[in-house]
Chains A and B, each alone.
Chain A
């Protein structure tokens, strides 16, 4: 039963073959039995989950159920959840019980989804391996000596290991797509502004976006429909109706022009990943898609531009963690400066500190023009590259990551090599576009991700192409050994 997708489980519940309480029990048992090997959950809210499952069953009995009603999911620990620990993977918020629900959490709850708990993540979403979490690293269920990717590594591992049906994630530079690729699941980063950021602890406000992490594109369509929508509490959320993603899934792929990014297929890409991605593209061609070449000439600037913009915003966003109102406070501060310095040096881990320092430097008087302003100009150039590429195609394709999952500790001391993990995903955030990662054929027994990038608010088409590919392949159905 746990191997079924969200779509299949919703159908089973709707047919009366399964109750949410039964399914929730099953998932809680799996977490209890299996998560010790993965460390994908920070909190498991068993009692609340069963209570929500009961309510969901009652709703269903009353004829008031949607596709998400009764589905057990998990939230990345970056989303505020009322009365439940919201740690952001940091010692700083080790004791922070949020007094309110994030909009994404509230929307999914209103749709009847059942929250099993909160998933582990890189500290404040800063990382590509889930090794920066204060609660310890998450392991990849495909090989527990490797990382699951990050920063939404807990959500990715939990979905891949069938410990929950679906999960939420956030993506600032690839934090949904990269772990989805490394764990063999489907992960979608929507257009900037599609999901409300209210209640999502901010890392880099102009880049952060919530999205679903699921076992199929079809599941992602249902999850996104439950998460998305305008929110008056988020000035940057989009005032446009949510498309009917599920309805668009069945559109034929025939005639869709898919542009393969030349710059992402060359140097730096592992051979196994390249051949997997090529195989996936071949399959799309067989479905009638037209494969063309496109170029993003400024894509090489995206990592440096990102590592100015994101740290700059994070240095300001994380200033509120000062030990005054909530979160970690050092013992016996001697004065105000001591309170600030020690609370923050004790509360934040090394990667967070590194980015706060980079960002503080980039915004400093005399450096602003050379770094922050220039990075913003690069952003414009990258957005322009995409606009030009979309003149020749409907969807852009590339590998999600340069390689398959690496071993724990391999890149921990080499931040630059870690930052290059996101070389294919970051440009998308800088341009605010939607993109997803779906499994391509595995390479050396480890999952590979195919990234599909769309024009703004073209999530329906991305999900449609992904679903059509998944309808004729079984790469997304593979389960890691021991978690089948």
Chain B
């Protein structure tokens, strides 16, 4: 039997507001437990929520970024269930009338095929607190710092047909929310959490199979693994003559498996109803216009501009615009360097490798964008060779100063004086008469490769400082004679 996978994602993005969605408490991550929990976050008797305007603004910004309908009138509803880290006994969310309606994003798959994934809706809600099961000897600690942090839950259509498509979509949403500055994108801290609804059906069948919901996945790698595991599991169940049950499952990254959390029968009846403490959110055109006016350039537009404006390949433009910080870094560096293509190579090559090695974010790079731009400029103006530049970069990474300072201090300035280079060439040719003879006798097709020997000798003698283009030119001239 040929099976087709059907995936829909629900993504919870924590909005980067200063204060919580219904209280004035700070949303900063990492404070001592319960130091950022006000009377409202503690659900003291008699307290009331007041909506944070910035959360609304950010939700609208997302809606406009994916070309979705922004609701003129949306309504907060209570989702009722008991849990110790849910202080009110209900979560304020949106149910029947969400703030953002239908939209779509385009994802690019590896073979450069594009696919449109529908977004069903996006709604505002509050995050819960955290239950801490360690360090309390059989008891549970409750930290309400996170309670009330604004979330935008982005719900997709079941449009994805593989784990890879799901990951591409999730990355696309991640790219958008970080680009438009509504989410800090810190996945370790839980700023971007994914639930995947996964089902399979015989290829060609129109109706969907029974789905399982995989909860709370906080990395793209785990998302791919969890979906792949789940698809295999469901195929096995069905091919063994069983039935997939509708349930919530948890992905265990350590064991690389999903396991059942609760079945449909055990699921809560959330008893949604409009929250009588909050008025409907009414959004007029002026507010939308204001939000649109402050919208930063979106990733797709920026990628197109990088291709057209800087002459970059589609691949390079795609990589460089994958995050707003990287794209900003590139643009700043390229402007100073004056050579966009060379700058792109450096950002995606040496810089990416160094960041990867140390695990640093591009924002915290020891070599900042202007510094890298200056280094690349020194390659372009022939002050140093690309090879020497790697040593300069390493020194800059270690904090030894700007490109110019390192070049000066280490005496790495390229030899471009043609007299000096000619002397070196002559010296090497004189020292290797046999090689010279072989070269001259060789098939012209093989000569370029043989030239490398002489270049290597000369570079060695000059400690890498001789200008390679000049060396090449002189060698060819003299050996050709």
Q: Which A residues lie at the B interface, using CB under 8 A?
A: 79-80, 86, 88, 93, 96, 98-100, 102, 197-202, 204-206, 232-236, 312-313, 315-316, 318-322, 324-326, 336, 340, 360, 363-365, 368, 372
Contacts and interface: CB of A to CB of B under 8 A. Distances in A.
B126 to A, nearest CB: 14
Interface string B238-275: 00000000000000000000000000000001011100
Interface of B is mostly: loop
Given A100-B39, A235-B279, A363-B273, A200 B46 contact: yes
Contact of B276 (A102, A233, A313, A336): A313
B451 interface: no
Given A232-B50, A320-B89, A324-B142, A100 B44 contact: yes
Given A324-B84, A336-B84, A319 B45 contact: no
B292 interface: no
Contacts of B43: 320, 325
Given A205-B277, A316-B89, A86 B84 contact: no
Given A96-B45, A235-B50, A363-B271, A206 B276 contact: yes
B46 A198 contact: yes
A322 B89 contact: yes
Contacts, number: 100
A88 B45 contact: yes
B335 interface: no
Contacts of B78: 316
Given A316-B80, A316-B90, A325-B87, A372 B46 contact: no
B278 to A, nearest CB: 5
Centre residue among B45, B50, B87 by max chain A CB count within 10 A: B45
A364 B89 contact: no
Nearest to B90: A316
B48 interface: yes
Interface in B198-236: none
A482 to B, nearest CB: 36
Interface of B: 39, 42-51, 78, 80, 82, 84, 87-90, 142, 269, 271-273, 276-279
Given A198-B46, A316-B271, A324-B84, A235 B278 contact: yes
A173 to B, nearest CB: 15
A376 to B, nearest CB: 9
Contacts of B269: 364-365
Contacts of A98: 44-46
Contacts of A340: 82
7 contacts: A80-B45, A99-B44, A201-B46, A204-B276, A206-B276, A235-B48, A368-B272
A311 to B, nearest CB: 12
A312 B87 CA distance: 19
A312 B50 CA distance: 22
B87 A320 contact: yes
B45 A236 contact: no
B78 to A, nearest CB: 5
B88 to A, nearest CB: 5
Given A99-B39, A320-B88, A322-B89, A312 B273 contact: yes
A197 B50 CA distance: 12
B88 A197 contact: no
A201 B47 CA distance: 8
B113 to A, nearest CB: 41
Nearest to A319: B89
A21 B309 CA distance: 82
A202 B44 CA distance: 11
A235 B89 contact: no
B279 A236 contact: yes
B40 to A, nearest CB: 9
B80 A319 contact: yes
Given A236-B48, A324-B87, A325-B87, 4 more contacts: A200-B46, A234-B48, A320-B45, A324-B84
Contact of B46 (A102, A232, A324): A102
Contacts of B44: 80, 98-100, 326
Contacts of A199: 46-47
Nearest to A361: B271
A388 to B, nearest CB: 25
Contacts of B271: 315-316, 360, 363-365, 368
A148 B339 CA distance: 88
A79 B45 CA distance: 9
Nearest to A327: B45
Nearest to A197: B48
A86 B45 contact: yes
A307 to B, nearest CB: 16
Centre residue among A99, A205, A321, A325 by max chain B CB count within 10 A: A325
Contacts of B87: 320, 324-325
Nearest to A344: B82
A319 B90 contact: yes
Nearest to B50: A235
A233 B46 contact: no
Contacts of A326: 44-45
A232 B278 CA distance: 12
A102 B142 CA distance: 27
A86 B88 CA distance: 18
B88 A319 contact: yes
B310 to A, nearest CB: 49
Contact of B80 (A202, A206, A363, A372): A363
Give 8 closest A-B pairs by Cβ, nearest first.
Answer: A319-B89, A363-B271, A206-B276, A205-B276, A199-B46, A201-B45, A320-B43, A80-B46
Centre residue among B48, B49, B50, B78 by max chain A CB count within 10 A: B48
Contacts of B82: 319, 322, 340
Contacts of A93: 45
A397 to B, nearest CB: 29
Nearest to B23: A233
Contacts of B45: 80, 86, 88, 93, 96, 98, 201-202, 320-321, 326
A319 B83 CA distance: 10
A96 B82 CA distance: 21
B46 A368 contact: no
Contacts of A234: 48, 50
B256 to A, nearest CB: 30
Contacts of B273: 312-313, 316, 363, 368, 372
A201 B45 CA distance: 5
B262 to A, nearest CB: 14
A336 to B, nearest CB: 7
Contacts of A365: 269, 271
A100 B49 CA distance: 16
A202 B50 contact: no
Contacts of A320: 43, 45, 87-89
B88 A202 contact: no
A235 B276 contact: no
A175 to B, nearest CB: 16
A330 to B, nearest CB: 15
